[in-house]
Amino acid sequence: MFVLSVLFTVLVSYGNCCDLEQFFSEKQVSVEESASTSQIVFRGFTIASEATPNDLRGVFTAYFELINTYKGAEALEAWGADNYRRINVTFLTRPSGECSEGSQVPREYIIFCNLVNDELRATSVAKWDESADQRVWAALGWSSWSDWSACSVSCSSGIQQRTRHCLISDCPGFNVEQRHCNLFGCDETVNPLALEESRFFHPSKDRWQTVPNRPTAWRLKPNSYIWVPSMQLFPDAKIRPFPREFALFVTLRVQNQSTMGTIFSLRSRRRQDTYLSLEIAGIDLKLIHAASNGTDVVRIPSQLGDGLWHQIAISIRDDSVVDSYVDCEWSRTDILRSHTLDIPDDSDLIIGYLFTGDLEQLSIVPDPRLVSLQCSSLRTPIIDPSVKDVEESKPKKSIKHPKQTRTKSDN
């Protein structure tokens, strides 16, 4: 990966803020049209920006680290190599806002360019997000990405991948993405879904259903749940059966946006009003902490119920701080109002109570600092010829030739 120095040449007045989309605010063009009509399209990560007042035209320079190229990779690489990888992108429009040195610039953009007379000219820009990313790839002929596969290992660093197909004769780019997953160590990691003893499963484990093509995932129904004393999970704990600080990793799939139920719950046997519970409520998750001094509810936006696999990581540290990650990205940090986490020594762990959906991972690590290691946000693009395109994967129809009958005139 190399750093692109992208020089935006524009007529600007210098002010306090800058958004590169302002240069095209008066002439909005859809992402799809920009992708199909531009010669070069790439995604860049902003690492610096500055104004250059010595140029009478008013020059604004933004420096990008190249993340990936959607289109025109060879042309972009040749241009960067010929110019010491300094890419001069000229904007020929005036922004509606103002740009100045040191102004805040959104971190990631999709840049659409044409190469004209040995000059790279921007035709449009768009802030990068997952939706814009998918729209660009779709405009270039790609199908949507598949779900991420199950992680290859339950701990100590594995690999996930997802695939897509080219829907036209030729598509720029790649058809496979990989990322690292479960980067936390195996020492002290607990995986209740892998328990061997059937007595912890309700109903009995032999009546639980696995998920097709996901060998480590279980299909739960409202009457399917695990109930296990925490001392069975952490038998070597000297002070308390369940760690006071920990990270929880969950991988699940929900088909219905109205799904309710409990994913994870720690409940006291003696004190019914004391528990820590992760519950699904429609498309979002709720972490509920109830104790004698009150109840705290942390809402975690997660967009469940779309029929796709999602990865959720939650940690509790310093008795009151809750960090949440959704699909490999930090989501939020909350502080419990009571400022004290009460986990009773006699806690039972309950998994999947009244929950309907697929549960592939529920791992507990007694170190909250590892919460970001469920999966990496960095992806490796791969071109894999074994992943057939849609047209290639369709079975070819055999052509039946009609039988010819001989007539008297043929003799």
Cα–Cα nearest to 265, from 293, 224, 228, 238:
228
- Beta bridge partners, 295, equal 290
What is the C-alpha to C-alpha distance for residues 399 and 6, in angstroms, rounded to an integer?
Answer: 55
Residue 378, in any domain of the structure: no
Q: What is the pLDDT of residue 28?
A: 72
What is the C-alpha to C-alpha distance for residues 227 and 33, in angstroms, rounded to an integer?
Answer: 54
Q: What is the mean pLDDT of the chain?
A: 82
**52, pLDDT greater than 80:** no
Residue 42, in any domain of the structure: yes
Q: What is the DSSP letter of 283?
A: T
Q: Are residues 249 and 329 in the same domain?
A: yes
Q: Are residues 19 and 125 in the same domain?
A: yes
Q: What is the pLDDT of residue 104?
A: 53
Q: What is the pLDDT of residue 122?
A: 80
Which of 155 and 73 is assigned the larger pLDDT?
Answer: 155
Q: Are residues 238 and 99 in the same domain?
A: no
- pTM comes to 0.81
What is the C-alpha to C-alpha distance for residues 22 and 94, in angstroms, rounded to an integer?
Answer: 8
Boundary (domain end) residue, out of 105, 139, 173:
139
- For 82, the domain range is 3-139
Structural domain count of the chain: 2
Q: What is the pLDDT of residue 325?
A: 97
**Residues 6+ positions from 27 with CB-CB distance below 8 Å:** 93
CATH code assigned at 350: 2.60.120.200
Residue 196, in any domain of the structure: yes
Q: How confident is the model at residue 92 (pLDDT cuts 50, 70, 90)?
A: low
Q: What is the pLDDT of residue 71?
A: 94
**307, pLDDT greater than 80:** yes
Q: Are 359 and 278 in contact (CB under 8 A)?
A: no
Q: What is the pLDDT of residue 235?
A: 74
Tens of pLDDT along 327-361? Answer: 999 999 999 876 678 777 788 999 999 999 999 99
Residue 394, in any domain of the structure: no
Q: Are residues 129 and 207 in the same domain?
A: no
Residue 148, in any domain of the structure: no
Q: Are residues 125 and 226 in the same domain?
A: no
**321, pLDDT greater than 70:** yes
Q: What is the pLDDT of residue 310?
A: 96
Q: Are residues 118 and 217 in the same domain?
A: no
Q: What is the pLDDT of residue 75?
A: 87
Q: What is the DSSP letter of 96?
A: S
**70, pLDDT greater than 90:** yes
Q: How confident is the model at residue 298 (pLDDT cuts 50, 70, 90)?
A: very high
Q: Are residues 286 and 355 in the same domain?
A: yes
Using only C-alpha atoms, what is the Rg of the chain? 27
**Residues 6+ positions from 147 with CB-CB distance below 8 Å:** 162, 308, 309
Residue 137, φ and ψ in degrees, nearest 5: -65, -40
Q: What is the pLDDT of residue 232?
A: 87
Residue 28, in any domain of the structure: yes
C-alpha 328, offset from chain centre: 5
Q: What is the pLDDT of residue 54?
A: 45
Q: How confident is the model at residue 24 (pLDDT cuts 50, 70, 90)?
A: confident
Q: How confident is the model at residue 274 (pLDDT cuts 50, 70, 90)?
A: confident
Q: Are 138 and 130 in contact (CB under 8 A)?
A: no
Residue type at 154 in one-letter notation = S
Q: What is the pLDDT of residue 339?
A: 61
Q: What is the pLDDT of residue 59?
A: 54
Q: What is the pLDDT of residue 61?
A: 61
Q: Are residues 120 and 28 in the same domain?
A: yes
- Degrees, nearest 5: CA angle 307-312-314: 155
Q: Are residues 133 and 7 in the same domain?
A: yes
Cα–Cα nearest to 47, from 6, 95, 19:
6
Q: Are residues 91 and 210 in the same domain?
A: no
Residue 33, in any domain of the structure: yes
Residue 381, in any domain of the structure: no
Q: Are residues 224 and 346 in the same domain?
A: yes
Q: Are residues 81 and 222 in the same domain?
A: no
Which of 355 and 282 is assigned the larger pLDDT?
Answer: 355
Q: What is the DSSP letter of 188?
A: T
Q: What is the DSSP letter of 377?
A: S
CATH code assigned at 41: 2.40.50
Q: How confident is the model at residue 53 (pLDDT cuts 50, 70, 90)?
A: very low
Tens of pLDDT along 226-256? Answer: 999 988 888 776 555 788 899 999 999 998 8
